Amino acid sequence: MKDNAMPAAGLALSEVFAQYAAGFDARRIPDEVRERARLLMLDSVGIAIASHGYDFSRRALAAIDELDGGGDSVVIGSSRRMDLRNAALANGILVHGLDYDDTHARGVIHATASALPTVLALAAREDRSGADMVAAYVLGMEVSTRLGAVAKGGFHQIGFHPTGLIGTFGCTLAAAWLLGLNVQQMVDAQGIALSLAAGSLEFLNDGAWNKRMHPGWAASAGITAATFGKHGYTGTRLAYEGRFGLYASHLGGADYDLGLATAELGERWELMRVSVKPLPACHFTHASVDAAARLHAQGISAEQVHRITVLVPQEVVKTVCEPESSKRKPANSYEAQFSIPYLVGTALCKGRLTLDDLEPDALRDPAVLALAEVTDYRHDPDSGFPKHYSGEVIVELKDGRVLREREAVNRGAEDRPLTESDIRAKYRDNVLRRMPAAQADVIEQSVLQMEQGSARALADQLGREA
For 280-299, write each residue's pLDDT tens digit: 999 999 999 999 999 999 99
Q: Give the pLDDT mean for 361-375.
A: 96
Q: Which amino acid is it at 92?
A: G
Q: Is the pLDDT of residue 1 over 70?
A: no
Q: Are strands 305-312 and 375-379 parallel, antiparallel or unpaired?
A: parallel
- The predicted pLDDT at position 9 comes to 64
From-to residues of CATH 1.10.4100.10 in the chain: 13-277+447-463
The helix/strand/coil state of 16 is helix
Q: Give the pLDDT mean for 232-254.
A: 97
The domain over range 283-407 is classified in CATH as 3.30.1330.120 = yes
Q: Give the pLDDT mean for 412-429.
A: 95
Percentage of residues in the chain with pLDDT exceeding 90? Answer: 94
Q: Give the pLDDT mean for 154-163.
A: 96
Per-residue pLDDT of 197-212, as tens digits, reads 999 999 998 889 999 9
From-to residues of CATH 3.30.1330.120 in the chain: 283-407
Backbone φ and ψ of 82, nearest 5°: -135, 170
Per-residue pLDDT of 104-146, as tens digits, reads 999 999 999 999 999 999 999 999 999 999 999 999 999 999 9
Sign of the CA dihedral 434, 437, 443, 447?
positive
Reported confidence tier of residue 8, pLDDT bands at 50, 70, 90: low
Q: Which of 7-11, 157-161, 233-237, 303-307 has the lowest mean pLDDT?
A: 7-11
Q: Is the pLDDT of residue 300 over 80?
A: yes
Q: Give the pLDDT mean for 67-87.
A: 97
Rounded to whole angstroms, the Cα distance separating 231 from 242 reads 24
Backbone φ and ψ of 378, nearest 5°: -140, 160
Per-residue pLDDT of 160-199, as tens digits, reads 999 999 999 999 999 999 999 999 999 999 999 999 999 9
**What is 13-277+447-463's CATH topology?**
2-methylcitrate dehydratase PrpD (1.10.4100)
Q: What is the chain's mean pLDDT, rounded?
A: 96
- The predicted pLDDT at position 4 comes to 42
Q: Is the pLDDT of residue 238 over 60?
A: yes
Rounded to whole angstroms, the Cα distance separating 422 from 30 reads 22
Reported confidence tier of residue 466, pLDDT bands at 50, 70, 90: confident
Any bridge partners for residue 404, and if so which? 394
- The predicted pLDDT at position 198 comes to 97
- The predicted pLDDT at position 5 comes to 44
Q: Is the pLDDT of residue 3 over 90?
A: no
Residue 318 to residues 100, 202, 228: CA-CA distances in angstroms? 20, 11, 37
- The predicted pLDDT at position 7 comes to 56
Other beta carbons within 10 angstroms of residue 138's beta carbon come to 25
Reported confidence tier of residue 254, pLDDT bands at 50, 70, 90: very high
Q: Is the pLDDT of residue 372 over 50?
A: yes
Backbone φ and ψ of 40, nearest 5°: -65, -40
- The predicted pLDDT at position 23 comes to 97
